[in-house]
Chains A and B, each alone.
Chain A
Amino acid sequence: MTANSRIWHLVLILAIFSAPLVIMYVYQVIDSIAQPDPGSLVPGAIDLSNWRFLWERIDTGRPSIWVVTFNTFLFASTTAFLVTSLSATAGYALSRLNMPGRPYFLGGLIILHAFPTITLIIAIFIILQFLGLFDTLLGIILVKAALELPFGVWILKGFYDTVPWEIEMAGVQDGASRLRVWWELVLPQVKPGLFALLIISFLSGWSEFVLPLVLAPGSSTQVLATFMNAVIQDDATADFGLFKAIGMFYSIPVIVIYLVFQKQLMNIYGGGTKG
């Protein structure tokens, strides 16, 4: 009974502290599909006109929402794929191969991960300009992937560290090359880590705002974050209903991914030590 009552206390405290967030989300949904009376918290008639961006252009100067969504998806998924595949090899090397300067490399990874991106933005801008990748999706994909890599390498190194050496030794004794041992015997053991990293870097790419804003400002490379920014920014009278509806649209994939892949995402914090 005491345990139960303690849980009730927790629930109450959590409810109080998360109420503002929950209320915000509730009104996000309500306001996107209803016309509120001024000054009233009670929604009036249902009105779907805020969602008009789905079937028409909200004004002529802007790209269609579907092009923008496709851009965002391309940006996030390519980044996730790049980060995961590079981390899979780099993490293995750092975990297993006895290369010179390994401790410094590992320390460097942590520093890079902690480094605030925004302080690098001018240098990155100049590099992209020089390479002719400014205002292209490829440019921001490369930049985003590079900035996500330290985290990914570090996480996957941790997963590789839990794979017993003997499995690799056994593979070599069975006649397999090192490459084959890695691909067929070791990689399957870190699958939970690969999967979690794939999802996390996809979500990170999906919500990226600063890099596209600064490095790909053109309308043909717009992603949802910069699209929303533009909608709220340049109208004389801001259309908050429209803004909220696009916000909803933007967050639906994130919510779905979290609901579907919760278990895999938790893996990354468990360190992948499940037997």
Chain B
Amino acid sequence: MELRLEKFTKRFGDTTVIKDMDLTVGSGEMIALLGPSGCGKSTTLFAVCGIHKMNGGTLHFGDRDVTTVPAQERSVGVVFQNYALYPHMTVEQNIGFPLKIQKLGKAAIRKEVERLSELVQIGELLDRRPAQLSGGQQQRVALARAMIRKPDVLLLDEPLANLDAKLRLEMRSEIRRIQRETGITAILVTHDQVEAMSMCDRIALMKDGKIVQLDTPEQMYSNPRSQFVAGFLGNPPISFLPATAGAEVVLANGQSIARPRDLQASGDLILGIRPEHFGPQHGEGLQGEVIFVEPQGREELIDVRLDGGGDIRSILSAGAPIRQGDRVNWGVATDSILAFAPNGVRV
């Protein structure tokens, strides 16, 4: 079911946290609300599920206006960061609780619980209590409970934040699989760009209560609209270097590189260079000294301090004969450079 949030405004006391935000999530689409802490992503989520009242704007699920509908009647499933399972109930009672509220018969509840526990693959755990489950299993139970009512919308609030690295990887694809299988419209709130990029159809990147860019993960990465977006996405992160563009591009440290072909602007700029676009595979051009080598298994991160000032990062396959202190002269893939005006807007 399509979710449409229009002109959403939220105030806490005198502070306006979110102003006139628009967001449309297509039917069966999974969208990520991504952003640093305090950007308003959780506030948006709580407004959609009805826990927070909206101070302005409207919310539609399909054709139904739910702006003023209380949370109980909204048909929204929520998975909380700490799962919020009911500790005194068994897994079966936990998953079946929403149906018990709807006064369904015992047999009907049992049947639905079995269907859901099969979907999230916890069939053998129904008699346990939440405290006897691992983090990943609790997560699955929370998912099953959120989905048993066949809600219009599924909301996931940092669902992977409490899991260890290996489980996180596993649950990432699990959640995606379950969302695809059921075709439910979903919103994922996260501050982890990897989660957002790997799980969602589109990402809404938020900052200071506004969506700064809403795009597919690929577009967001290769075509960021501002310096903030470019800096937020990408791991290892992009390097920024101030420069002046004329016939060629002169960096603030005095070194120069060829002018990117499609660069229109002239004058003061900030260049964004992703690690994979700087290195020996791109020829020569920028001179400096290796100040740090960080092995990452398959790859190595290399920080280079350019002559005359400015740091830039490169990523190379492991085993490259680079040591700390080495002098390097590496090239930049000039056509992949992202250029921003001094105020951060992409040019």
> Which of under 10, 10 to 19, 20 to 34, or 35 or more describes the interface residues of B?
20 to 34
Residues of B within 8 A of A28 (CB): none
Task: Please state if B82 and A173 are interface contacts (CB–CB under 8 Å).
Answer: no
Q: Is B233 an interface residue (CB 8 A)?
A: no
> Which of under 10, 10 to 19, 20 to 34, or 35 or more describes the interface residues of A?
10 to 19
Q: How far is the CB of B83 from chain A (nearest CB, A)?
A: 8
Task: Please state if A167 and B101 are interface contacts (CB–CB under 8 Å).
Answer: no
Q: How far is the CB of A239 from chain B (nearest CB, A)?
A: 53
Task: Please state if A185 and B72 are interface contacts (CB–CB under 8 Å).
Answer: no
Among B73, B80, B85, B146, the most chain A Cβ lie within 10 Å of the Cβ of: B80
Choice from B78, B85, B101, B145 contacting A169 with Cβ under 8 Å: B78
Q: Is B332 an interface residue (CB 8 A)?
A: no
Residues of A within 8 A of B49 (CB): 173
Distance in angstroms between the alpha carbons of A130 and B233 in the assembled complex: 75
Task: Please state if B77 and A173 are interface contacts (CB–CB under 8 Å).
Answer: yes
Choice from B50, B84, B88, B102 contacting A170 with Cβ under 8 Å: B84
Choice from A166, A172, A188, A275 contacting B71 with Cβ under 8 Å: A172
Residues of A within 8 A of B76 (CB): 173
Residues of A within 8 A of B169 (CB): none
Q: Is B97 an interface residue (CB 8 A)?
A: yes
Q: How far is the CB of B50 from chain A (nearest CB, A)?
A: 8
Q: Which of B83-141 contact A (CB under 8 A)?
A: 83-88, 97-98, 101-102, 131
Q: Is B149 an interface residue (CB 8 A)?
A: yes
Q: How far is the CB of A29 from chain B (nearest CB, A)?
A: 43
Q: Is A96 an interface residue (CB 8 A)?
A: no
Task: Please state if A180 and B101 are interface contacts (CB–CB under 8 Å).
Answer: yes
Q: Which residue of chain A has the shortest Cβ distance to B97 in the bound complex?
A: A174
Distance in angstroms between the alpha carbons of A175 and B87 in the assembled complex: 18
Q: Is B51 an interface residue (CB 8 A)?
A: yes
Distance in angstroms between the alpha carbons of A166 and B49 in the assembled complex: 13
What mask results when residues 50 to 64 of chain B are scored 1 for a CB within 8 Å of chain A, else 0? 110000000000000
Distance in angstroms between the alpha carbons of A191 and B80 in the assembled complex: 24
Distance in angstroms between the alpha carbons of A275 and B98 in the assembled complex: 24
Task: Please state if A175 and B51 are interface contacts (CB–CB under 8 Å).
Answer: no
Distance in angstroms between the alpha carbons of A185 and B84 in the assembled complex: 11
Known contacts A169-B78, A174-B145, A175-B149; A188 and B88 CB within 8 A of each other = yes
List 28 interface pairs A-B (beta carbons < 8 Å), by A numbering: A166-B84, A169-B80, A169-B84, A170-B80, A170-B85, A170-B145, A171-B86, A171-B97, A172-B51, A172-B71, A172-B72, A173-B49, A173-B50, A173-B71, A173-B72, A173-B77, A173-B146, A174-B98, A174-B101, A174-B145, A175-B72, A175-B73, A175-B101, A175-B149, A176-B97, A176-B101, A180-B101, A188-B86
Q: A166-B80, A166-B82 are in contact. List 19 more A-B contacts (CB 8 A).
A: A164-B84, A166-B81, A166-B83, A167-B84, A169-B80, A169-B84, A170-B80, A170-B86, A171-B97, A172-B72, A173-B49, A173-B51, A173-B78, A174-B149, A175-B72, A177-B72, A189-B88, A275-B87, A275-B131
